[in-house]
Structure 1
Amino acid sequence: MCFHGAVVDIRMHKEFSINPTREPAGHSMPEFTKFLHETFSLPRDAPVSFKPGDETMKPRMMVISRRHPRKLMNVDEVVRAAERVGFEVVIDHPPMEHIGKVYFGDPTEDMQLKYIAYSAGVDESTLVETLGRDHPAVRVPESVHQSGLGKVAEHHLGKQDIRLDLARFEPVLRSAMDLLKEN
């Protein structure tokens, strides 16, 4: 969705990924990762190199901030929390929507990179304020999904914004920083 052009195959085996058992030449996502490193002259395999006592090198964290439904309501607080943990934060505004795990998590794992997911809790959703806690979209989100894409689009994609609970989110940031320090 973000890429303006790339044709890899005429059959899709998996979203944004390569299934090496079904690819005729046996290519894999780690090979694709290596190809990207070589193509874009990326100098290292690890995202950042930490040296003991050197606090000048900060890993960069991108916050994808939407301008419409499903936007992050407290983006400034999230940025401050990430900076407290030690990240340099960059904010981007995407032109199109994504489905997190399918478009980010699965390809990342297939490339043998680390992926940390965060699922917003009920109290982080503005649907509680707009629809009420007893509405099926809030109380039993699966029921809305079972009603079809139209209802999902109406409620979860069209009316919901998120206000992250920083007490829940900061440990995720710390886990990410710990993973970076392991490299």
Structure 2
Amino acid sequence: MEGDEVRITSEYLEEISLSNKTDVSCDLRSARSDFCEIKDFAQIIGHSSILNYHSPCTNSFLQAHTSFKLKPHPRKHDKIALSHVKEISIEPVSFNQTPPHCTVMHIAPAIVFSTGGYTGNMFHDFTDVLIPLFITSFPFRGQVHFLVGEMQPRWIKKYRPLLEQLTQYEIINLNKVRRGLCYSHIIVGLQFHKEMSIEPKKTGNKYSMVDFAQIMRKSFGLERENITMLGIHNGNKPRLLIISRKKTRSFTNVKEVIKMATNLGYQVLVQEPNSRSKLREFARIVNSCDVLMGVHGAGLTNLVFLPANAVVIQIVPLGGLEKLSMEYFGIPALDMNLKYLQYNISIEESTLTEKYPKDHVVFKDPSSIRSKGWAALRSTYLVNQNVKLDVTRFSYTLLEALKHLHHYQ
């Protein structure tokens, strides 16, 4: 973009070298992400994953850490996720000894991050990359470059409407860059606050998940800012979207649920998002609805497209998953000004009763299954369990949602 580049000359380098003001700050204490920020002059050579910076001896952090490495992805202790993320080596350099491999420096800052890990799963797309990227880039109001490691063209295409709201520049595939890129300000890594959400206090109360929801609606051209727009206030029936799953944690009696909800006064839609779904079209379907319901899983991530004050109903399967479900989707829903209802199924509503007697440890002591590790929990409660809703019991949850919606008529 015009005005973003400064020509690098020997005089310019000498001025920077004499200024002795390079500022390097890193936060390596977070349980989820490492984050480093370098101001004044930094050069990154993408294909080799080496970032050089001008190192004055007065910087106390640099005196203790002359060079260090990090993986720019918010799952720092997840070995499986990070096995797909290339390490960035951050090293000091003297301009007198090692001239930069670029002729211009970008004034606008750059953020280095990876789309490796578990991307491709919608929940991880948002909690691991898109929301942390929003947190990190939002203060720059589009005046920031994105340098992406392990860049997946299909992923970039899918989320380009959002990415174009966050950066005004071309997105750079870091692994294909053969020349040096110089910036006056580089951030390596993404800031992570909590699962699929933002802690406003950590932003100085400058932005929150409400702002993220607004930018999502703007990105995908969604008309409804809140449920009073084109909704039940004008006589239309409230729209209930059931997120359907076919392979795991599926509803075995969805027709009964549809009939019951219709009798209560809902217009019911059943959709199953998948990798072939066109995100913009699915986002518009979600945004047209007043209530979204589904069993705990990545499909509930679509709550980011709902209008404000809509209702999210999460059906929690057996397995002691209540706290996890609240953390993954309940708190994010509340942070987006959505009404959140959590329906914890009974033993009778789980298809595990077809596999185990009711006095089995699977029902009596889920914690003993969880103590065996994530693989055991996943296999027992997430992969091999479906849900047969007690339509009478569940109807009270849908009635509670209706009561909330009628408050906005």
TM-score bracket for the superposition, by shorter chain length: 0.7 to 0.9
Deviation per CA, 1:119-173, whole angstroms, max 9, x where unpaired? 1111100111112212211222222122211111121012111100111100001
The runs of 5 or more residues in structure 1 that have no matched partner are none
Counterpart pick for 1:15 among 195, 220, 223? 195
Where 1:15 maps in the other structure, the secondary structure is coil
Supply the distance in 2 between the matched residues of 1:21 and 1:118 (Cα, whole angstroms): 30
Corresponding residue number in structure 1 for 2:387:
162
Q: Do the aligned partners of residues 124 and 43 (structure 1) sit closer, same or farther apart at CA in structure 2, a change above 3 Å counting?
A: closer
Structure number with larger C-alpha Rg: 2
Counterpart pick for 1:68 among 232, 237, 247? 247
Identity %: 30
State the structure with bigger RCO (CA 8 A, min sep 6), 1 or 2: 1
The TM-score with structure 2 as length reference comes to 0.40
Supply the distance in 2 between the matched residues of 1:175 and 1:85 (Cα, whole angstroms): 11
Does the alignment pair 1:122 with 2:353?
no
Corresponding residue number in structure 1 for 2:399:
174
Counterpart pick for 1:50 among 233, 253, 263? 233
Asked whether the equivalents of residues 214 and 225 of structure 2 are also in contact (C-alpha less than 8 Å), the reply is no
Counterpart pick for 1:90 among 245, 269, 275? 269
The TM-score with structure 1 as length reference comes to 0.85
Supply the distance in 1 between the matched residues of 2:207 and 2:225 (Cα, whole angstroms): 21
Higher strand proportion:
2
Supply the distance in 2 between the matched residues of 1:145 and 1:135 (Cα, whole angstroms): 15
Where 1:21 maps in the other structure, the secondary structure is helix
Supply the distance in 2 between the matched residues of 1:46 and 1:88 (Cα, whole angstroms): 15
Matched to 1:46, the amino acid is I
Corresponding residue number in structure 2 for 1:141:
366
Deviation at 1:50, TM superposition (A): 2.6
Over the residues paired in the alignment, what is the CA RMSD in angstroms?
2.3
Q: Do the aligned partners of residues 152 and 104 (structure 1) sit closer, same or farther apart at CA in structure 2, a change above 3 Å counting?
A: same
Supply the distance in 1 between the matched residues of 2:227 and 2:369 (Cα, whole angstroms): 41
Aligned pairs, number: 179
Deviation at 1:85, TM superposition (A): 1.1
Asked whether the equivalents of residues 251 and 389 of structure 2 are also in contact (C-alpha less than 8 Å), the reply is yes
Counterpart pick for 2:214 among 31, 34, 40? 34
Supply the distance in 2 between the matched residues of 1:65 and 1:100 (Cα, whole angstroms): 17
Matched to 1:181, the amino acid is H
Supply the distance in 1 between the matched residues of 2:225 and 2:373 (Cα, whole angstroms): 44
Q: Do the aligned partners of residues 44 and 154 (structure 1) sit closer, same or farther apart at CA in structure 2, a change above 3 Å counting?
A: closer
Corresponding residue number in structure 2 for 1:101:
326
Supply the distance in 1 between the matched residues of 2:205 and 2:395 (Cα, whole angstroms): 43
Matched to 1:130, the amino acid is K
Supply the distance in 1 between the matched residues of 2:250 and 2:222 (Cα, whole angstroms): 34
Corresponding residue number in structure 2 for 1:152:
377
The runs of 5 or more residues in structure 2 that have no matched partner are 1-120, 137-189, 276-296, 299-323
Deviation at 1:93, TM superposition (A): 1.5
Matched to 1:13, the amino acid is H
Where 1:22 maps in the other structure, the secondary structure is helix
Q: Do the aligned partners of residues 11 and 130 (structure 1) sit closer, same or farther apart at CA in structure 2, a change above 3 Å counting?
A: same
Deviation at 1:62, TM superposition (A): 1.2
Supply the distance in 1 between the matched residues of 2:326 and 2:258 (Cα, whole angstroms): 22
Deviation at 1:31, TM superposition (A): 2.5
Deviation at 1:100, TM superposition (A): 4.3
Supply the distance in 2 between the matched residues of 1:69 and 1:34 (Cα, whole angstroms): 32
